[in-house]
Structure 1
Amino acid sequence: MTATRPSEFCRPCAMPVNNLPLHDADHLTQGGNQALIVLNEQVYNLRITRAGKLILTK
């Protein structure tokens, strides 16, 4: 399933109708293709592939 991005969405974090946080991967990676995410003192690597897919690894 492919989600479409609302045209007015341009902030790093927005609150859509269903009250779940919505984050733009381009903002998380600051225009690059990788970002580090920390959860419970564990560091994860978020990567955007050349095909535009997201991969999250520990």
Structure 2
Amino acid sequence: MPSVDLPPLPPSPARLLSTARPASAVHAPAVDSRLLLNGAREIEIVHGDKVYRLRHTRNDKLILVK
């Protein structure tokens, strides 16, 4: 995958709250949606034998559909 220069993300409320969690809490890995979409408005994600579509809407929301 080619390297893409992206501006830094502002701190999200979830990231700010993550410091308040106990050390024993398991954190899921975070992936910037701009890296996944790579400039596209929609991508296909293959999971096993299923194909999902991840779409970035005009309202700046993400929708994942089967």
> CA RMSD, aligned part only?
2.4
Percentage of identical aligned residues: 38
Which consecutive unaligned segments of at least 5 residues does structure 2 have?
A: 1-10, 16-25
2:57 to 29, 49, 55: 49
* Runs of 4+ that moved beyond 2 A: none
TM-score computed with the length of structure 1 as normaliser? 0.63
Which consecutive unaligned segments of at least 5 residues does structure 1 have?
A: 7-17
Tell me which protein shows more helix as a share of its residues: 2
TM-score computed with the length of structure 2 as normaliser? 0.57
Tell me which protein shows more strand as a share of its residues: 1
Larger radius of gyration: 2
